[in-house]
Amino acid sequence: MEKEITLQQAQERVDHWIKTVGVKYFGELTNMTILMEEVGELARLMSRTYGEQSFKESDKNRELGDEMADVLWVLICLANQTGVNLTDALLKNFEKKQIRDKDRHQQNEKLKK
């Protein structure tokens, strides 16, 4: 199994899988709803792993990485459907944060505690 994959490769592989195995993409609004469902599953596992909630039997064999990958998969589907190049978008986002938040967090007293 591969050890690394670029965002572009991930987008291409998800697209290939959807078109060959998955038949076609669900509609954008359906995928948005599925994304929220997957985020909820991740949140549930996070609250049981790091929060105060106890595990239910149905939660016990779930893995954080798998839940995060489910979120990423659906996000990639949405990017593919809407023509978003995630590599470009992430690079632009890094640039935006570097400019907008350059000093913001160092000056945040709440983070110094």
pLDDT recorded at residue 34: 98
- Domain of 37 in residue numbering reads as 7-87
With a cut of 90, say whether residue 103 has pLDDT above it.
no
pLDDT band at 5 (very low <50, low <70, confident <90, very high): very high
Instruction: Please give the tally of structural domains in the chain.
Output: 1
- Helical axes 86-100 vs 64-82, angle rounded to 10°: 100
pLDDT given at position 33 = 98
pLDDT in tens, 21-46: 999 999 999 999 999 999 999 999 99
Quick one: pLDDT at residue 26?
Answer: 97
Residue 28 placed within a domain: yes
- Does the pTM of the predicted model rise above 0.85? yes
DSSP of the chain, one letter per residue? --S---HHHHHHHHHHHHHHTS-SPPPHHHHHHHHHHHHHHHHHHHHHHTSSPPPPGGGTT--HHHHHHHHHHHHHHHHHHHT--HHHHHHHHHHHHHHHTTTTTTT-GGGG-
The pLDDT tens digits for 55-102 are 888 877 899 999 999 999 999 999 999 999 999 999 999 999 888 877
Task: Give residue 99's pLDDT.
Answer: 84
pLDDT the model gives residue 43:
96
In-domain check, residue 98: no
Residue 99: inside a domain, yes or no? no
Asked if the structure places residue 106 within a domain, the reply is: no
The CATH number linked to 41 is 1.10.287.1080
**Domain for residue 18, yes or no?**
yes
What amino acid is encoded at 25 in this protein? Y
